[in-house]
Chains A and B, each alone.
Chain A
Amino acid sequence: MDHGLILAVRDLVCRYRGVPNDALNGVSLEVRAGEVHAVLGPNGSGKTTFVRAALGVLRPASGAVELLGRPVAAWPRRELARVVGVVPQREDNLFPQRVRDTVLLGRYAHLSPWGAERAADRAAVARALAACDATALADRWLWTLSGGEYQRVRLARALAQEPRLLVLDEPTASLDVRHEMELFELLRGLADREGLGVVLITHHVNLAARFADRVLLLDAGRPAAWGAPSDVLTAETVERVFSWPVAITPFDGRPQITPLRRKEPV
């Protein structure tokens, strides 16, 4: 077995009932320890569907997903949650909750149904909060948090799972520049220092280009390109996938995209 290989997705095909076109068609991805992967693509290109199928929440029409060499469908959810931590795009907690209790939910896959949390669980929660610079928030109610703080808390909850793979679905969608950069730096650091694999769905093409080792670009459910950012993010490919003219200028050795203005007035 390939050491360090965490997630292997091969030729994934997904359909939703009553929708004629495949939501995903022929998507593959391999994530190793210490790698950051960005999944890019226009709205509706299948990014979230890809994550749901890769994590066994959605059953694919065909294709294979293996997590640590074992088909993802064969993983009990509890065991899977000890290996993969997810920050979903949306969730709304039905009842008001404090930050500490929310992060503790990340430990549930490690707890017995009856037993109380042990010192190891409390330590994991404290470490996760510290890693996300959220220790000071521990006693706050969730609804008093700003958007940036809330995302840090949700990341802390995923880290409390002590996973080997982190999956995030548009984690910086509503964050300002500083919080966005902080989150990307944090993810890069986790991959570099702790050897976590990271899969990141995002609309921020330029940040993905600067932080990711590999980029998967989806176009209407099909993989337009997969590889190093400088190979994937060419003007030709990006213009085709996003249907908009762009200029590419390298920065720090990574391609950066500038969408162009329309030439003639509309």
Chain B
Amino acid sequence: MRWLGLGAAAAAAFAAAVVLGPADVPLRDLATSDIVRLLRLPRAVLAFLVGGSLAVAGASLQALVRNPLADPFLLGLSGGAGLGAVVALALHLPGPWGLPLAAFAGAILAMGLVYRLALVSGSALDPRILLLAGVAVGAFAAAVTTAIVSLAEAAELRNAFLWLWGGLSGASWTAVAVLAAYAAVPLVALFGAARSLDLLALGEEPAAYLGADVRRVRRRVYLAASLLTAAAVAVSGVIGFVGLLVPHLCRRLWGQLHRALLPAAFLGGGTLLALADTAARVAVAPRELPVGIVTALLGVPLFVLLLRRWTTA
């Protein structure tokens, strides 16, 4: 029933993304229209993959760092990935396939930095300090990114909003292929770690007693979540809130066991971002809003509303 509802929502979001747009494509021309084939369809697929990737990364990180507020954006991963991508672009380094690698380097660097900052007294990882460090590193990365974007003249950086607020206007089948190729491995790795993530939610020592190889799982999830975030950021810029909001909605409906939660988060994240991107294209047509602004505009009030209901219930 829940899965049916989610599937229907995903299909509806996809249909809306294909049917709606600033250009008026009659319904009977949908299958043959170049606008649909080369613009709307790849963009819808890309939105879906980006949203799904961010939501899965967020859900995994929440269990890993034992903090329900964790997501790729708040942990500084997205900021680091964005910075890595912008630096690579400013230096005219990569093509579309190299960009995720540069973003990945940025994300890993940010994660390492956040992790170092959060290691209090050498051994115990404090989840609250981890989050504070994430916010600090993310803000710093965003500042450097903005500085580079304002100073650089590289043609690729014209659309600075892509990196600051996220946007899918660069969508193409190539971008879809790039994301699909880079996201596949970390998605499989995270789905495979689902049971270990259930255990880690108890804390590292109880998890070890229940059979989790904590150190290996931690490394695997950090790497996979960083790569997933980097791939998403490389094609769409920094999009916040999907990785925070979607996992929490899914936790309410699917419970805490990650074997069901992660696939649900993927579909939910994809649905949400496809809808948000359609709104970003249609709301102020022919101009376009950065999709990150739409996710924040939709996500923040919804999140506050849910937070109130959960805490008073």
Residues of A within 8 A of B (CB): 17-18, 52, 55, 57, 76-78, 80-82, 84-86, 88, 91-98, 101, 105-106, 108-109, 111, 113-114, 116, 157, 161
Contacts and interface: CB of A to CB of B under 8 A. Distances in A.
Contacts of A96: 256
Interface in B186-236: 192-196, 198-199, 201-203, 205-206, 208-214
Contacts of B199: 105, 108
Given A93-B202, A101-B257, A161 B210 contact: yes
Nearest to A58: B205
A113 B213 contact: no
Interface of B: 62-63, 66-68, 121-123, 192-196, 198-199, 201-203, 205-206, 208-214, 251, 255-257, 259
A78 B207 CA distance: 10
B209 A108 contact: no
Given A95-B201, A108-B195, A88 B209 contact: yes
B73 to A, nearest CB: 19
A109 B207 CA distance: 11
A17 B206 contact: no
B256 A80 contact: no
Given A52-B205, A97-B256, A108-B210, A113 B251 contact: no
Nearest to A102: B202
A91 B202 contact: yes
Given A86-B209, A94-B202, A95-B68, 20 more contacts: A17-B123, A76-B213, A77-B208, A77-B212, A77-B214, A78-B213, A81-B209, A82-B211, A88-B206, A91-B202, A92-B203, A94-B66, A94-B67, A95-B251, A97-B256, A101-B256, A108-B199, A108-B211, A114-B192, A157-B210
Given A57-B205, A94-B68, A108 B213 contact: no
Contacts of A93: 201-202
Nearest to B66: A94
Contacts, number: 81
Most A-side CB within 10 Å, residue of B122, B199, B209: B209
Contacts of A106: 210
Most A-side CB within 10 Å, residue of B63, B205, B259: B205
Most B-side CB within 10 Å, residue of A77, A97, A111: A77
Contacts of A94: 62-63, 66-68, 201-202
Given A94-B68, A95-B251, A97-B256, A109 B210 contact: yes
Contacts of B62: 94
Contacts of A55: 209
Most B-side CB within 10 Å, residue of A76, A101, A113: A113
Given A77-B213, A82-B211, A113-B192, A105 B198 contact: yes
A157 to B, nearest CB: 8
Contacts of B205: 52, 57, 88, 91
A180 B198 CA distance: 29
Nearest to B310: A96
B260 to A, nearest CB: 10
Contacts of B210: 81, 105-106, 108-109, 157, 161
A17 B212 CA distance: 25
